[in-house]
Structure 1
Amino acid sequence: MPPADPLDWARPAPDAFASGQAAAPGRRSDGQLAAELLVEEAPVTLVFNDEVALTLMATPLDAEALALGFCLSEGLVERPDEILDLQALPAGAGLSVLIQLPEPRLQTLRARRRFGAAPGGCGLCGIEDQRTLLALPTRALAPLQLAEGAIERALAALPGRQALNARTGGAHAAAWASPQGDLLELAEDVSRHCALDKLIGRLAQRPFDPASGFALLTSRASFELVHKAARVGLPCLVTMSAPTALALRAAQATGLQLFAFARPGRWTRYHP
């Protein structure tokens, strides 16, 4: 008999690629059986020009938006129309996204030594040189004038838009809101980095002015999230948990407005 496929244990059920979730029986502390839904996590491999590959651990929904957002937020392309082709296909225990870049853009990727796996969707994993890793975007970010109560309105609307998290309790959300606090777009993923990339990818699929609103994340503000936001020209980032000190320094250096500890009725503004 042929040997068993070593990836069999990790492969999601076919419907997980459409739903982002998997059913799992469990037993609660009171002894009662429970049928729970768990957020799905799978390898999503980005294959550039059939040559260079990077694997993100992500929820296998909206993989093409994830790949597009990743290319933009990591500076692999400046505009969506620079990507010649992009297609997501089942592969192994997850998905492969086949991406065709112009040769000069591929050289940029090679120079950054991006190979291998990125745990939790971490975009900076795989970059070896500190100067490359910490290089900040040079574009100027114009200040965003938020209406009074905008953050509170966005926070109030957020739970009703988090469909995957409502079912599983395990998904981060990245949302785009107007300066008045109206939620205009939302993406969910087990990884906060991938949630932001999916949001960027979705927004980039239509005419979109990055200076016209703010991003709201259900996570902490890490350096990479500030880096991604500034790279694509988002002027303002609001997170529900704490910022890191490096994230604050990056916000100060790029001019990005940074709010954290956002909860109904309170938040902390760190910059400017």
Structure 2
Amino acid sequence: MVCRIEQPEQQPEANAPAPAPQRVAYREYGPDGVVAEAPLAAEIALAITYNGLSQAVMMVSPGNLEDFIRGFSITNDIVSDLSEIYDIRLSHFPQACQADVQISSRAFWALKDHRRQMAGTSGCGLCGVEALEQALPQLQILEPSPLPPAEHLQGLRERIEQAQHMARSSGALHAALYFDAQGEVRLCQEDIGRHNALDKLIGALLNAGIDGRQGFTVVTSRCSLELIHKAVRARLGTLVSLSAPTALTVQWANKHHLNLIHVPHRNAPRIYSPI
């Protein structure tokens, strides 16, 4: 089941820059539990269709979207130059945007021919709105889980560095780790892809029969909406990120009762969900 995409909002100026960061409340994880606000980056789901054919859905920052579409079209070899892009029309929805791009007949036939050759591995051919609904799915609400004790987050970055054996030798790797109810590292999975690292960890937890609602899971990468989707589907209790979440990520974590904690470099951990 997928969520319903509402009717388009009032259209902002074409190719407008990103809006100012949204200020989002958090609670410091400390004795005083001070509530404050931090500016967090925005993200939206963007669906791109060419001459009515759905090509891609991705999470992006909501600014300079026409520039992004032009660059995406060139670098993915959909058009050979900008003269083959005739029009870009943006329809804005809550948390999403649909881009209807009109391209030359030559570019469109080449795109369709490429999709036929990749039929076993490429897109589903859904319309743009249907694709957006899949990018913003309806997920099951979790049962609330207790937050991990604050002391379990102390020295977290150093303990992660110790657990990342491959990254210590090669670098360029994301990690997803599971800390048990005693605050000890039980599992560490590494990958060049942040989504892959979390998928590997979730697979290992399931294979080992470990209840992800106990303890907490850490991702070393940016905490984007896709990682929230994965955590909720895997029924994790607490997701800890070393990088700040986006405003949309916080909204979805609170909605689905997923504990979300950011551990900054030099400040106390910040609880964004529950708040």
TM-score (normalizing by structure 1)? 0.51
Residue aligning to 2:249: 247
Is contact 1:237–1:256 with CA below 8 Å preserved after alignment? yes
- The equivalent position to 2:160 in structure 1, one of 158, 168, 173, is 158
Q: CA deviation at 1:195?
A: 0.3
Aligned ranges 1:1-272 → 2 under 5 Å: 115-116=121-122, 129-263=131-265, 266-272=268-274
Is contact 1:152–1:263 with CA below 8 Å preserved after alignment? no
Residues 163-203 of structure 1 show CA distances to partners (whole Å, capped at 9, x for unaligned) of 11111110011000123321110100011110000001111
Distance 2:228 2:129 in 1: 17
Unaligned runs of at least 5 residues, structure 1 = 1-112, 118-125
Aligned residues: CA RMSD:
2.5
Distance 1:252 1:233, change over 3 A: same
Q: CA deviation at 1:127?
A: 10
Residue aligning to 2:59: none
Distance 1:186 1:264 in 2: 24
Unaligned runs of at least 5 residues, structure 2 = 1-118
Query: Is the partner of 2:208 in helix, strand or coil?
Result: coil
Distance 1:237 1:185 in 2: 14
Query: Is the partner of 1:252 in helix, strand or coil?
Result: helix
Distance 1:263 1:136 in 2: 33
Distance 1:141 1:222 in 2: 22
Distance 1:264 1:156 in 2: 13
Is contact 1:176–1:184 with CA below 8 Å preserved after alignment? yes
Distance 2:138 2:237 in 1: 14
Distance 1:265 1:168 in 2: 28
Instruction: Tell me the amino acid that sits aligned with residue 198 of structure 1.
Output: K
Query: Is the partner of 1:188 in helix, strand or coil?
Result: strand
Is contact 1:144–1:179 with CA below 8 Å preserved after alignment? no
Q: CA deviation at 1:265?
A: 5.9
Distance 1:136 1:155, change over 3 A: farther
Distance 1:143 1:132, change over 3 A: same
Distance 1:261 1:149 in 2: 12
Distance 2:129 2:164 in 1: 32
Q: CA deviation at 1:220?
A: 1.3
Distance 1:269 1:128, change over 3 A: same
Percent identity over paired residues: 32
Instruction: Tell me the amino acid that sits aligned with residue 174 of structure 1.
Output: A
Distance 2:263 2:120 in 1: 32
Distance 1:219 1:180 in 2: 24
TM-score (normalizing by structure 2)? 0.51
Is contact 2:242–2:263 with CA below 8 Å preserved after alignment? yes
Distance 2:218 2:138 in 1: 21
Distance 1:114 1:150 in 2: 46
Is contact 1:141–1:230 with CA below 8 Å preserved after alignment? no
